[in-house]
Amino acid sequence: MDISLFFASRPIRTMKLRKKIKRIHQPLNLRTLLVVLVTATGLISTACAQFGSDNHTVTVFVQAITTIQADVGSVNMVISGTDVVAGENVMSVINETSRLLWGTNGSGRKTTVVTNLVSSNFVMKVEALNPTQGIAAPEVVLTNTATDFLLNIGRSSGSCTIKYTGIATAEQGIGSDSHLITFTIQSQ
Amino acid sequence: MRTLVAVVVFGVLATFAGEDAFAQASANQNVTLGVNAIYRIAISGDPAPLIITDGIAGNDNLVPVTDNSTDYSITQNVGNTLKITAEIDVALASGYTLEVNLTSTKGTSLGDVDISNSMSGSAVDVVTAIARGADANKTIGYTFSATASAGEMPATTRVVTLTLTN
């Protein structure tokens, strides 16, 4: 920047000023030049900040999150003499010791239940009791085809008691079934 | 503009891909159901007193009395050859006879069986070949008979035990 031109463009009327200008028109020493340059740089920066702008896009994303867990890994049920009434062929045992817990931020979700056992000796029924969210489906007989367990559980966390009912007839004799039961949250 | 479209398309695809990946979750639980060997038998109650009150002139055998007011029920899943035995806690004196008759659907009734002396250790079969399953409300019939020569008998109580066994 030509400092001398900058100052020459200003009107000068007093002698005092003329003297100052005369001094200014004298060759500038290094110190003065630095002060002027720093000041000018600051002015230019301030001017630029006032008229410049920029932007960028910030993307936020919440994925569909679904979790489900049974609080007890293994449930053992036994039909013994104490569960049986003499004269009745059908014998049963009920277990309500485990709970299913879930959380999902998606809408329109349901829970299904299925067993890995293709051919069971005895009947096993399952039902959701007292769900804190959603609606319990009617009690179903477990098969290896997924069946509704809970409906309308979208966008919630909740829990319910899992009610298992094992049923055998005396005519079926003695035996056992081992089920690997899978609860799945999926779109309704 | 082309870049913007590409970014939007990618975003949409990523959204749905993410939803598919996380919209489903599963939990497993092992459930075991066992059925033990079961023998159950129940009797409805006590029969009415069996009181002999009549005889036939010229005949030593007094007129027997019967009671069919009680019944039994069973449930068993063990086998097809089970049986019911009967025993009495104290034997009856000579000249007095107590018989029992159990009807059966799942097994074979042996008809009137004398249990007058079938105390513990000498229980007698009353129903055999009982198949797996249940028999409900089957009649228990008692017949009490005596001879005139045996004399009177004061009121006496006996405990009859029916056992479902192999």
Answer yes or no: are the C-beta atoms of A170 and A93 closer than 8 Å: no
The phi, psi pair for A64, rounded to 5°, reads: -65, 120
Answer yes or no: are the C-beta atoms of A166 and A176 closer than 8 Å: no
Measured between CA atoms, the residue of chain B closest to residue A106 is: B23
Nearest to B78 by CA among B127, B34, B39: B39
Judge whether residue A63 has pLDDT over 90. no
**B71 in contact with A, Cβ within 8 Å:** no
Answer yes or no: are the C-beta atoms of B123 and B87 closer than 8 Å: yes
Nearest to A77 among B22, B33, B74 (CB): B33
Interface test with A, best of B35, B102, B132 (most A CBs within 10 A): B35
For residues A118 and A81, give the distance between their C-alpha atoms in angstroms, rounded to a whole number.
Answer: 28
Query: Token digits for A28?
Result: 């500038």
pLDDT confidence tier of residue A54, bands split at 50, 70 and 90: confident
The phi, psi pair for B129, rounded to 5°, reads: 55, 50
CB contact under 8 A, B40 and A86: yes
Nearest CA to CA, how far is A135 from chain B (Å)? 18
% of chain A with per-residue pLDDT over 90: 60
For residues A162 and A131, give the distance between their C-alpha atoms in angstroms, rounded to a whole number.
Answer: 10
Answer yes or no: are the C-beta atoms of B159 and B70 closer than 8 Å: no
For chain B positions 74-93, those within 8 Å of chain A (CB to CB) are 74-78
Judge whether residue A102 has pLDDT over 80. yes
* Residue whose entry in the numeric block shows the structure tokens 């230019």: A44
Nearest to A134 by CA among A113, A114, A112, A110: A110
For residues A9 and A13, give the distance between their C-alpha atoms in angstroms, rounded to a whole number.
Answer: 13
pLDDT confidence tier of residue A51, bands split at 50, 70 and 90: confident
pLDDT confidence tier of residue B11, bands split at 50, 70 and 90: very low
B23: left (phi over 0), alpha (psi -120 to 50) or beta: alpha
More confident residue, A165 or A14: A165
pLDDT confidence tier of residue B69, bands split at 50, 70 and 90: very high
**DSSP code string of A108-165:** SEEEEEEES-SS-SSEEEEEEES-SSSEEPPPEE--SS-EEEEE---SEEEEEEEEEE
Least confident of A58-72, B85-99, B126-140: A58-72
Judge whether residue B16 has pLDDT over 80. no
Measured between CA atoms, the residue of chain A closest to residue B71 is: A87
Strands A74-79, B25-35: pairing is: parallel
Query: Token digits for B66?
Result: 């019967």
For chain B positions 90-119, those within 8 Å of chain A (CB to CB) are none
CB contact under 8 A, B35 and A122: yes
Q: Return all residues near A172 (Cβ < 8 A) that are at least 6 apart.
A: A121, A122, B35, B77, B132
Nearest CA to CA, how far is A28 from chain B (Å)? 53
Sketch out chain B's domains with CATH numbers. Answer: 39-165 (2.60.40)
Tens digits of per-residue pLDDT, A137-183? 999 999 999 999 999 997 889 999 999 999 999 999 999 999 999 99
